[in-house]
Each structure stands twice: as C-alpha cells, then as structure tokens.
Chain A
C-alpha cells in the first residue's frame, strides 16, 4: 500500500461517540499497557467476568477498524522480549485513541450520574 499521510487536523474525539461496546472494551484494555490480540481478549473477558467474549474474528475486525481510524497503532518493537512470541503483533493506543476512550468514559460517567440524580441508581458511599 502507498504510505498514508497523517491528516493535518486530528478529528474531534466526540465525532467517534458513542463507541461500539467491543471497541470501547478494547480501548480500555489497551489503556494501561500494550497488548497482543489474545491478551486483549483475555483482559476483556476477565474484566467483564466472562460476560463479553470476543471471537478471534470479531476481535480482529475491531482491531482493523481501530487501526484504520488511527485509534490504535501497531508496535514496531516488542515490549517484553523475554515473554514475547516473536510472531505476535502488539498494539497500543494512539493519542487520538486515548482521547476518544476518555471522551467515551466521560460520556458514560455523565450518563451514570444522570441515572443517579433521577434515583435510578443508588448514590455511592
């Protein structure tokens, strides 16, 4: 493929919202560290108590879209050479990806606080 040029103006994070459920979980799982595909899958399954199980196909469909949207990027080097399988690809959030994930988290937070304000949910503490 011919090399893509970086767009000069980054799109507004809000233009990606609301994020599809799978997408948000993948971004969250990449928020603290770089991961390879299976690690993302395990992390998501763990955090959701096995509620959300991504299949290899759906996982990579999301990864492909996130790469196209420049929300994540592939690492050129292996982060953890000792435990690394050299064939695996690692991904991390881009700056835009992080901003989008944050924006989505805020949106959800606002939604949550709205739910609390109306008494739909019990207040914390």
Chain B
C-alpha cells in the first residue's frame, strides 16, 4: 500500500505463512491473510515460551487437519461441477468413456495375461523360498531331451539329493502324457511324475486322503502302485467320490494304481499355463538311462541361504555330481562335455512355464501396441476437449477477468478429464476380464489349452490406475492449459465467435495430429509386418507335403513280438493301411517333421567329425511326403535288417560335409550312443532341403536310413499317411480298421497340417491383434485429422469466403487447405518411419520371412496412411471450397 511503512516480517509469521502453503491456493487467496493475522495476534498475546509453544502446536495441528479437508472439499466441488458438465453433453461423455474403457481395457487384458503367465507366484507355501536347480547355460542338446521342463537326468538328481546342503528339502518332477482306462476306452491324460519329497517341499496339503511321499517311490519298482489325482480330475472323472477305501483303482498305461488322495483345488503343478490330471510317484526302472534329461529339480532354501549362496554351493558340488552320473556309451569327447556341466540355482517362485518363454515377448509387444493405440485415442479425446474448451473461451475469460484463479480453472477442466478417465477405468476392468479370457481362448489349440489364473489382483488394478492416469494427463492437461492460457481482454473482444482465432489451439492440434500420424504409422508397420509374416508362414513351402497327411501312432507291447519280428510286423501294419480305401500312401518314421521334435546323432564323414539329424523311415516315406530324389535312389523293401546299411542325405549335408564333391558312394560312421552302436552307412541318395523340426528354422544337415535298420526298433510305430480323401475321414477309417483287425493295438491319430498350424498360434495372434490395432490406429488418426482440418476450415471461414468472393477458384482453396494437411502428414510419416525403424529392433525374432525394416512394408504403410490422411483432409476442404461467400462473410 502506498505510504505504508514496510515493517520487517517476524520469523514466526514467515514460518506460519510457509505452513499455509499446504492449503489449496483458493483458500489461501481468500482467507490466507486473515488466518495469518489471527495467528500473529495470538502469537503476540501469548506470554512466555510455554504459551507460545502451545500457540504453535495448535496452529500446526490446525493446518494439518484442515488443509487436507479443504483439498478434499475442492476436489469434490470440482468433480460435482464436472459431473454436471458431463451430464449436459451425454453423447460426448458416453463416447469418451467408451473409448477410454476399450483402450484401457485392451491394455488391462494383455497385462492380465502377462501377470498370469509371468508375474504370479506359485500357489504354494512361501513360494519365494523355492529355487530351481539347473545346468548353467543348459545341456546344449546333449543326450535325449523329451520334455520342456526336464533339465537333468535321474542319476544327476539322485546325486544332488544325496549331497546338497543348500535346501531343507529337494524334489524332482516331470510331466508326461499317459493313457488312462481300459483298452477299449483309453483316454490321454496329463501326468506329473514326482519324487518322494515333492508335495512336502512345496508345502501342499491334501484335499482328500493323503499325498505321495518317499514310501511310494523309494525302492518301489516301476510302474509303482499309488497315485494322487488333481482336484479337477477328481471332480471331472471320478465324480468327487470318497477316496482311500481301496476300491479307487485307475489303470494308467496298462498298470493298476490305487488312488490315495486328491490335491487341493487351485494347485496346478509347477508349469504355469498347464495342469495335470494324475500325479504318479518316481519309481525304480529296470534300466536307468544316464543320458535322458527328463526331470526338473527344485528345493526349498534353508533359512539364511540365498540363491547366490546356493549357486556357489551347487557349483562346488558339480564336478563330483557329473563325474558320478556320467553316461558310458558315448564318445570320450561327449563324456568330457557332460562332466564339464555346472549346476546353478535360480528362483522358482513363479514356477516353470513353456507359455511364459513362448509368449512373454509377444505379449509385451502387444501391450506396447495397445498402449500406442490408447495414446492415439487419447489424442482424439484431447482434440474433442480442445474444441469444447474453445467453445467455453468466453466463459473462461469472464471468470478470469473477475478474479477467478487460473489454478482453479485448470483444476475444473482437469476434473472433467479425471472423471472421464476414472469412469473409463472402472468399465475397463470389467472389459479386461472378458478380453483376457478371449485372448486365452485365442491361444487354445487342440493340442494345448492354456489354463491360467486370470485375476484382477492388486498388480492389475495398479496397472489400470497407472494407465488411466497417464491417459488422463495426455488428454486432459493440454486442453486445460490451453483453455485457461488466454488473455481475458482478447477473448471478450473477439465477439460472439469462438474467441481468440485459436492460433494456439490449432498449434496444439497440429502437434497432436503429427503425433497421431507418426504413431499410427508405427502401428501400421507393425500390423503389416506381422500379417505378412503370418502369411509367409502359412504359405511357406517346407519342402514336404502338409495337405492330406495324417499321422498315426501305434503301440503294441501286448503282442510280445520278438525283436526280429518287429520290422516285419511294422511293414505288415503299413501295408494294411495303404490298402484301405482313400489312402494313397503310408510310411513309418522315427521322427515327425515340423512339430518340434529333434533327434541328433554324432557322425564322422571322411576326417570330419560332426553331427546331423537322423531319421529312420519306411520305403515309401519320400513318396508319401512328396520329397523328390535328386540323385541316386530312395529306400525300398530290399533294404532290410540284414542288407548293407544305407543312407539318404539332404543338400545341406552335401554342402556341409561333402565339400561340394559327389557324396553318393561315400560312407559315414555314426558315433556310439546307448543302444545305438557306431555304424557305417553308405550314402545312396540325395534329397532337396526340407524343413526339419520347425518351419521357421533353417534346414540342418539331415540323414535318413531305412526303418528296418533302426537299432531302437520297439513295439510301436509312427506312420505318416497320405490320403486322397479328407484326412479326418482317413483317420476315422484307420481307427475303425484297427479296432476291428487289431484290438490289442493302441492306436491314435491326428492331422499333420492342423498340428503344424497349431505351432503358428502365436503368429496368428500377433497378426490378428496387430492387424486389428493397426487398422484401429489408422481410423483414429483419420478421425483426428478430419477433426483438425474441419476446425481449421471453421476458423478460416471468413478468409475463405473473401478469397472465393475475390475470384479464387475452388481448386485453389482446396489446395491451400490440403497443403497444410500434407505438411503435417509428411512430418508425421517421417517421424513414424524413424520410430518404426527404431522399434523394429524388438521384432526380428517374431518375424518370419521378412526383416523389420522391410522396405516394401514401410513403403506400403506410408502410402496407406497418406491415402487415408488425404481422404480425411479432402472431405472438409472440399466442403470449405463450396462455401457460399456471402453466407461466410455474413457469418459474423
């Protein structure tokens, strides 16, 4: 105040003023001075340190209790105001909430899946104390590796159990398929085979009866006699009947088991995404293979032990363990490699999961894509809110002019966004529950149906809240700042029209449009990449026939055939099938191609020591699978157990080991393995390169030999069948024939092409979702661009009217407007290209047959987006050029 002597502000007042900053600014502006004065009065009137201290305590306590209340009151008031606004434009409100619910829901659904596959702990006692024991770096394909979860051999497991000190208890497990029931009604079920301490180590309590323990496995000869069933199987197959009365017998792979208990509901084993029906005990086999990596080992850490300490301990034990458990019938080199393995410990709190390793990258990528789509949608909402904000410019100007604080106005604008985002988030949680289940359903194939615990837990809720907040910031903050950043005088001067010419508004909108175009280009590129990659996979010619091929598995242990009769019986079986109506050809194989299986044999050709994929096949195999013989001959019925050993190799083999020379007539010698003594084969033919275990992987060197000369011949056969009728009908015909002619043989069959396609589920999911999101992104960007151009046209109505009145032709007007749009699109596309190239680094492992920086894809995406953007801008621009100049000028 003029003339007033400025006195020094006492420190107590200054301190109290600082304390008042805890209040909302509105309250401070209105009552701050008064509150300070009252405080000063009290402080002055208080005598002595004791009273002053009391004044301070009361003051602080008062501020601390009242300031939060004041904030809450403000927020409530703003939200009520926002709710009134929202009710006034229900169409906008509904659109916004729906957009947000879908956008946040899509993100939430994918996150729920990531959570279920990769973040949830096992439903057992203190899962964080569990650690897995494995070979550091894996066994690099040594020996036989039948399953996904087996990392160690039984002898190695026994050594660990005998010598380790890191764990209070250790256990081993394996998953396998078993056939349950009588021969007439066999059903394939999933079994978990467990060591004695398995349930004890996990701390799982029985739901009924008892669980398996050491007495069921130690020194019990195979196949064992006691079994436990899962809660699901107990309900489904046993009708939840009482257990443990001695009458609950189950025939598993032909052997009787007594069911002694039921595992609790919710216990699915250790493999996330999978479940088991029956738990069988480890038993003592007649021969313990020392090269069969079939079991997983884990333990519960002793109190005070960490993963690192356990690893150090296991590493110290490794030499002794692998020395004692080394296989014998291998080459000295191979045995040396085995003895060099080192053990390590790793956290097992979240269990094992094939699904996790298969899908984590894809799901994260999809989450990123869904996040970007949400970003574009939020940008559109921001544009809508901006447009509404400009409509309210005059109101805002007046309120600013009569002294409303900018902070309060910003808060009111934000309150509307917060309200929309919060409502969107609430609905998104419901949507996410549905969408995540749909995602799991999309991953389901005949061969595998993931069973996941999709929970709306605190992680999912936290994620949803975070996404909603981020979205809210994107679409709420810019309009709020823009709308309140105007100068009151200007806004009111500009008459009834939407105020300040909105240059700033347009600038904000321009940034949004460039962002939208750039981000949608990235999404379009992703969509095209995954769709084209999937198409490449579907149409890729693996070099072998897929169409019209079915696979039959036969097991005949009950025939008790002597080994020398097995080959003949196999031939007879194949001949019978070939004679069935509709069947063209059939041949046995020891390895089914393209379904992930692999069988490698060490070999020596000339001086070269190496290895190749080995398959023993029937005489008609190459014909059945449509593989031509390029050189030499294929196999025939004259290749028998007694005839000289012969082999057919592929071109990669010739390239790698033949040194470019003619390989026909050369010999190769296999390295010894248990059951497969070193043998010399003469190469008699060459076939082209065909894909081996997976369509995606390049062809390895391959060797084929006649099935009759297979050293591992047993009472079983896998037959590839080519039919001229529908393979499903062929499969039915075979089943009918087998049950009539050979009731003692266990027969199963499946369709080759369908199983190969099952392995492309991930690619299909990526292509479908990325494609969907890509199209959505383009549409959203189009809407954004359309909105921006329409707004620009509305802003420049007068100018356009004058131009047209002065004789500008319509094309000039359209060009003028389009030039602006074109510039933005060009900037957006350029930025999008750079982003796509950068983002592409995450994708190569998921793509087949094309690179992330595939120029055709990038070009196509840019063209599509430019065309879409052109259409979105042309419509409003053409509308503007048709303006009646008189009407436009009269507008003001």
A residues within 8 Å of B by Cβ?
1-2, 37-38, 41, 53-61, 63-64, 87-89
For the residues of B in contact with A, the DSSP-based class is: helix
Please indicate the chain A residues that have their CB under 8 angstroms from the CB of B67 in the complex. Answer: 57
Cβ of A46 to closest chain B Cβ, rounded Å: 12
With A37-B34, A55-B61 known as contacts, the answer to whether A61 contacts B70 (CB < 8 A) is yes
- Sample of 14 A–B contacts (CB below 8 Å): A2-B398, A2-B402, A38-B37, A38-B42, A56-B38, A56-B42, A56-B62, A57-B62, A57-B66, A60-B31, A63-B31, A64-B27, A64-B31, A87-B37
**Once the chains bind, are A87 and B33 in contact (CB under 8 Å)?**
yes
Q: Which of A53, A55, A61, A89 has the most CB of B within 10 A?
A: A55
Please indicate the chain A residues that have their CB under 8 angstroms from the CB of B58 in the complex. Answer: 53, 55
Please indicate the chain A residues that have their CB under 8 angstroms from the CB of B333 in the complex. Answer: none
With A41-B38, A55-B58, A61-B69 known as contacts, the answer to whether A1 contacts B404 (CB < 8 A) is yes
B9-53 vs A, CB cutoff 8 Å, 1 = contact: the mask equals 000000000000000000100110111111101100000000000
Interface membership of B473, Cβ < 8 A: no
Which of these, B35, B41, B403, contacts A60 with CB under 8 Å? Answer: B35
How far apart are the CA atoms of A88 and B36 in the complex, in Å? 11
Q: Which of A53, A54, A58, A61 has the most CB of B within 10 A?
A: A61
Closest 7 CB pairs of A and B: A55-B62, A57-B62, A57-B66, A55-B58, A56-B38, A38-B41, A56-B35
Known: A56-B38, A61-B70. 5 other contacts (CB 8 A): A38-B41, A41-B42, A56-B59, A57-B35, A88-B34
How far apart are the CA atoms of A2 and B408 in the complex, in Å? 14
How far apart are the CA atoms of A61 and B758 in the complex, in Å? 68
With A53-B58, A57-B66, A58-B66 known as contacts, the answer to whether A89 contacts B34 (CB < 8 A) is yes
B867-878 vs A, CB cutoff 8 Å, 1 = contact: the mask equals 000000000000
Please indicate the chain B residues that have their CB under 8 angstroms from the CB of A59 in the complex. Answer: 35, 38
Cβ of A53 to closest chain B Cβ, rounded Å: 6
How far apart are the CA atoms of A38 and B66 in the complex, in Å? 18
Please indicate the chain B residues that have their CB under 8 angstroms from the CB of A55 in the complex. Answer: 58-59, 61-63
How far apart are the CA atoms of A1 and B402 in the complex, in Å? 7
Please indicate the chain A residues that have their CB under 8 angstroms from the CB of B399 in the complex. Answer: 1-2
Please indicate the chain B residues that have their CB under 8 angstroms from the CB of A87 in the complex. Answer: 33, 37
Cβ of B642 to closest chain A Cβ, rounded Å: 104
How far apart are the CA atoms of A41 and B70 in the complex, in Å? 20
Please indicate the chain A residues that have their CB under 8 angstroms from the CB of B643 in the complex. Answer: none
With A2-B399, A56-B42 known as contacts, the answer to whether A37 contacts B37 (CB < 8 A) is yes
Please indicate the chain A residues that have their CB under 8 angstroms from the CB of B65 in the complex. Answer: 57-58
How far apart are the CA atoms of A1 and B404 in the complex, in Å? 6
Cβ of B6 to closest chain A Cβ, rounded Å: 14
With A56-B42, A57-B65, A64-B27 known as contacts, the answer to whether A88 contacts B70 (CB < 8 A) is no
Please indicate the chain A residues that have their CB under 8 angstroms from the CB of B59 in the complex. Answer: 55-57
How far apart are the CA atoms of A37 and B66 in the complex, in Å? 16
Cβ of B27 to closest chain A Cβ, rounded Å: 7
How far apart are the CA atoms of A57 and B59 in the complex, in Å? 7
How far apart are the CA atoms of A41 and B62 in the complex, in Å? 14
How far apart are the CA atoms of A59 and B39 in the complex, in Å? 11
Cβ of B274 to closest chain A Cβ, rounded Å: 60
**Once the chains bind, are A60 and B34 in contact (CB under 8 Å)?**
yes
B48-87 vs A, CB cutoff 8 Å, 1 = contact: the mask equals 0000000000110111011101100000000000000000
Please indicate the chain B residues that have their CB under 8 angstroms from the CB of A54 in the complex. Answer: 62
Q: Which residue on A lies nearest to B54, using beta carbons?
A: A53
**Once the chains bind, are A58 and B62 in contact (CB under 8 Å)?**
yes
Cβ of A89 to closest chain B Cβ, rounded Å: 6
**Once the chains bind, are A38 and B38 in contact (CB under 8 Å)?**
yes
Q: Which residue on B lies nearest to A62, using beta carbons?
A: B66
B471-495 vs A, CB cutoff 8 Å, 1 = contact: the mask equals 0000000000000000000000000
Cβ of B409 to closest chain A Cβ, rounded Å: 11
Please indicate the chain B residues that have their CB under 8 angstroms from the CB of A89 in the complex. Answer: 34
Q: Which residue on B lies nearest to A57, using beta carbons?
A: B62
With A37-B37, A38-B41, A41-B38 known as contacts, the answer to whether A57 contacts B63 (CB < 8 A) is yes
Cβ of B80 to closest chain A Cβ, rounded Å: 13
How far apart are the CA atoms of A64 and B30 in the complex, in Å? 9
Q: Which residue on B lies nearest to A85, using beta carbons?
A: B37
Cβ of A38 to closest chain B Cβ, rounded Å: 4
Cβ of B163 to closest chain A Cβ, rounded Å: 70
Cβ of A43 to closest chain B Cβ, rounded Å: 13
Q: Which residue on A lies nearest to B399, using beta carbons?
A: A2
Q: Which of B35, B67, B398 has the most CB of A within 10 A?
A: B35
Within 8 A of A (CB), among B398-421: 398-399, 402-404
How far apart are the CA atoms of A64 and B462 in the complex, in Å? 36
Please indicate the chain B residues that have their CB under 8 angstroms from the CB of A38 in the complex. Answer: 37-38, 41-42
Q: Which residue on B lies nearest to A40, using beta carbons?
A: B38
Please indicate the chain A residues that have their CB under 8 angstroms from the CB of B62 in the complex. Answer: 54-58
Please indicate the chain A residues that have their CB under 8 angstroms from the CB of B63 in the complex. Answer: 55, 57
B420-459 vs A, CB cutoff 8 Å, 1 = contact: the mask equals 0000000000000000000000000000000000000000
Q: Which of A1, A41, A57, A61 has the most CB of B within 10 A?
A: A57
Cβ of A64 to closest chain B Cβ, rounded Å: 6
How far apart are the CA atoms of A57 and B58 in the complex, in Å? 9
Please indicate the chain B residues that have their CB under 8 angstroms from the CB of A56 in the complex. Answer: 35-36, 38-39, 42, 59, 62
Please indicate the chain A residues that have their CB under 8 angstroms from the CB of B69 in the complex. Answer: 61
Q: Which of B38, B39, B63, B399 has the most CB of A within 10 A?
A: B38
Q: Which residue on B lies nearest to A53, using beta carbons?
A: B58
How far apart are the CA atoms of A1 and B405 in the complex, in Å? 9
How far apart are the CA atoms of A53 and B404 in the complex, in Å? 33
Q: Which residue on A lies nearest to B60, using beta carbons?
A: A55
Cβ of B783 to closest chain A Cβ, rounded Å: 35
Please indicate the chain A residues that have their CB under 8 angstroms from the CB of B398 in the complex. Answer: 2
**Once the chains bind, are A37 and B402 in contact (CB under 8 Å)?**
no
**Once the chains bind, are B37 and A61 in contact (CB under 8 Å)?**
no
Please indicate the chain A residues that have their CB under 8 angstroms from the CB of B41 in the complex. Answer: 38
How far apart are the CA atoms of A56 and B38 in the complex, in Å? 6
Cβ of A74 to closest chain B Cβ, rounded Å: 10
How far apart are the CA atoms of A37 and B35 in the complex, in Å? 8
Q: Which of B27, B61, B62, B63 has the most CB of A within 10 A?
A: B62
Q: Which residue on A lies nearest to B63, using beta carbons?
A: A57
Please indicate the chain B residues that have their CB under 8 angstroms from the CB of A1 in the complex. Answer: 399, 402-404
How far apart are the CA atoms of A64 and B62 in the complex, in Å? 15
Cβ of B694 to closest chain A Cβ, rounded Å: 71
Q: Which of A56, A58, A61 has the most CB of B within 10 A?
A: A56
Cβ of B712 to closest chain A Cβ, rounded Å: 87
**Once the chains bind, are A61 and B404 in contact (CB under 8 Å)?**
no
Please indicate the chain B residues that have their CB under 8 angstroms from the CB of A2 in the complex. Answer: 398-399, 402
Please indicate the chain B residues that have their CB under 8 angstroms from the CB of A60 in the complex. Answer: 31, 34-35, 38, 66
How far apart are the CA atoms of A89 and B63 in the complex, in Å? 20
With A53-B58, A55-B59, A89-B34 known as contacts, the answer to whether A61 contacts B66 (CB < 8 A) is yes
**Once the chains bind, are A88 and B37 in contact (CB under 8 Å)?**
yes
How far apart are the CA atoms of A37 and B31 in the complex, in Å? 10
Please indicate the chain B residues that have their CB under 8 angstroms from the CB of A53 in the complex. Answer: 58
Cβ of A70 to closest chain B Cβ, rounded Å: 16
Q: Which residue on B lies nearest to A65, using beta carbons?
A: B73
**Once the chains bind, are B404 and A37 in contact (CB under 8 Å)?**
no
Please indicate the chain A residues that have their CB under 8 angstroms from the CB of B402 in the complex. Answer: 1-2
B269-304 vs A, CB cutoff 8 Å, 1 = contact: the mask equals 000000000000000000000000000000000000
Please indicate the chain B residues that have their CB under 8 angstroms from the CB of A57 in the complex. Answer: 35, 59, 62-63, 65-67
**Once the chains bind, are A37 and B33 in contact (CB under 8 Å)?**
no
Please indicate the chain A residues that have their CB under 8 angstroms from the CB of B33 in the complex. Answer: 87
How far apart are the CA atoms of A61 and B66 in the complex, in Å? 7
Q: Which residue on A lies nearest to B33, using beta carbons?
A: A87
Cβ of A88 to closest chain B Cβ, rounded Å: 7
Cβ of A73 to closest chain B Cβ, rounded Å: 14
Cβ of A52 to closest chain B Cβ, rounded Å: 11
How far apart are the CA atoms of A56 and B63 in the complex, in Å? 8
How far apart are the CA atoms of A121 and B536 in the complex, in Å? 95
How far apart are the CA atoms of A53 and B54 in the complex, in Å? 11
Cβ of A35 to closest chain B Cβ, rounded Å: 12
